[in-house]
Amino acid sequence: MTPRRIIVIGAGMGGLAAAADLARHGHHVTVLERAAHVGGKMRQVHVGPSAIDAGPTVFTMKWVFDGLFGDAGQRLEEHVRLLPATILARHAWSQGGNLDLYADKQASAEAIAAFAGPRDADGYLAFCQRSRAIYETLRGPFIASQRPSPLDLVARVGFNRLGALWATAPFQTLSAALGDHFSDPRLIQLFGRYATYCGSSPFAAPATLMLVAHVEQDGVWRVAGGMAQVAAALANLARSQGADIRCNAHVGRIGTRAGKVCEVELSDGECLKADAVVFNGDISALGTGLLGPNLTSAAKPVRLPQRSQSAITWCVTARTRGLDLAHHSVLFSDDYRREFEAVFKDQRPPEKPTIYICAQDRDDRCQAPDHPERLLILMNAPADGDVRAYDRQTEAYARDAAWAMMEACGLQVEPSGGEITTPEGFNSLFPASGGALYGRANHGSMASFARPGARSNIAGLYLAGGSAHPGPGIPMATMSGRLAAARLLQDIEHLS
């Protein structure tokens, strides 16, 4: 096979995975990243001398990475040190009650029995069984495969297994399905939060997302040195296969000739010839013409009503009092439905937000350090960062709401320094996204099929990242890069 010149735009998980696979097959691969560091959304914010993970904080689906590194003759463990989590998360409610979930589902069932009674504990075990069945049905035919149509998915699963496919419950909302297993509304709220893993509302997302429960039970890890080590590992893997990675390289446009990709021009005027391009950015940057009017047919942009949620985050060093935090803690509001109505219907930050906290200096012992600890504090927000200015008054409103909710759940946070990122800030980091952190919201039974596949509508232009199939999250974005590389390799003889 004649080596081709392939440009990968964006050094997020999908871009780095695609670069590793393409370089391993002998092609000349250059990765262009506009930021100073690789990782994309897996970024760090520095508060004084402290580096705080400011993006994804959970490592799951290790098999995706085992496959990527294994195909290159390497092992993930040679690059990063993974620390298995015993406590998945600690949960607290403003109306009262605390509950830990564990990697051991029997330990979780016992905790739920003490929290809500034996019937809900039995419901939890049935829920775990159901989530596993959904995951096993969809792992190969959907997650690890090129984007299917609904009919393709039926064929892949097998016409003799239509019952298993129906059991994935695409026509029932997640919140409604959880009512089949739990009577305590706090538990419905807790497990409904799985919809937010893809930036969606549990009152509109399909019950298929119950599979997230099995993903967590299959293994959750902390990463020694922080999540940025995962991005560094993928970058080192790509380089070891021959890829060149250039940071601070801002792409201005993608050039085409006769309807095919032919070059990539940087904002400083440098022009790089290309036989193919893998775009690892928000697909709306293509659809809105941000990288050239010749590319608007590449993928449909995701407009505000269809976007996933964004967030307002605070990376702080702080001392805490009251509620003992775990590495992952979730503090729930008392009206979950109203919270998602605010984000998706009213397009405004919620008055009573659920708060997620990653206490990055805590392990399974949940002990606070003897110095100000590193916290990522997150509340949901609409992805309106391209149409709304988040001024100081809005930031103060959000901070007051977040800190009030933490106090209502028994937690006092006293920051000594920090940095806020709003949807406007996320839109600046990830252009044309509006700050949507997960691409399109997964609302409705057909939403999973609305994400574009690896091959765009422009010859030689391929799509990777969380806004493409199979979706957002570290392992899914990584898989999207592998799928883009695989599709490109299939097509490559036809690009000249």
Helix (H, G, I), strand (E, B) or coil at 261: strand
Residue 356 lies in a domain: no
The whole-angstrom separation of Cα 342 and Cα 56 is 24
Same domain membership, residue 270 and residue 231: yes
User: What is the spatial distance between Cα 464 and Cα 484, in angstroms, rounded to a whole number?
Assistant: 6
Beta-sheet pairing, 5-9 with 276-279: parallel
Show which of 215, 247, 280 is a domain's final residue: 215
CA pair distance 239, 187, nearest whole angstrom = 45
- In this prediction, residue 21 carries a pLDDT of 98
Same domain, 183 and 241: no
- Domain's final residue, options 215, 250, 268: 215
Give the pLDDT score at 157.
87
Q: Residue 125 falls within a domain, yes or no?
A: yes
Q: Is the distance from CB of 360 to CB of 226 less than 8 angstroms?
A: yes
Total domains in the fold of the chain: 2
Q: What is the pLDDT of residue 456?
A: 97
Query: Cβ of 459: how many Cβ atoms within 10 Å?
Result: 15
Please report whether residue 401 resides in a domain.
Answer: no
Residues 127 and 76 in one domain: no
One domain, residues 133 and 209: yes
Same domain, 149 and 66: no
Q: What are phi and psi of 67, to 5 degrees?
A: -70, -45
Joined together, the tokens standing for residue 377 give: 């504090």
Supply φ then ψ for residue 234, to 5 degrees. -65, -35
At residue 496, the pLDDT reads: 53
User: Is 37 domain-assigned?
Assistant: yes
Residues in the chain where the model's pLDDT stays below 70 = 1, 494-496
Task: Tell me if 399 is assigned to some domain.
Answer: no
207 and 132 inside one domain: yes
Let me know: does 442 contact 276? Beta carbons within 8 Å: no
Query: Are 211 and 229 part of one and the same domain?
Result: no
The Cα 496–Cα 417 span in angstroms is 54
Q: 151 and 188: one domain?
A: yes
Same domain, 211 and 143: yes
Residue 53 lies in a domain: no
Q: Which of 215, 249, 272 is the last residue of a domain?
A: 215
Please confirm whether the linkage preceding 148 is cis (ω < 30° from 0). Answer: no
113, part of any domain: no
As given in the structure block, the two tokens for residue 413 are 């946070």
Q: pLDDT value at position 495?
A: 54
Is the distance from CB of 78 to CB of 64 less than 8 angstroms?
no
| Cα dihedral 435, 439, 442, 443 in deg (nearest 10) | 60
**472 occurs within a structural domain:** yes
In terms of domains, do 158 and 235 share one?
no
Question: Cβ–Cβ contacts within 10 Å for residue 286, how many?
Answer: 28
Q: Would you give the distance in Å from CA 378 to the centre of its chain? A: 14
Would you state the pLDDT for residue 165? 81
Domain residue limits at 157: 121-194+203-215
Pair 239, 275 in one domain: yes
In terms of domains, do 131 and 67 share one? Answer: no
Which structure tokens are listed for 410?
A: 């028994």
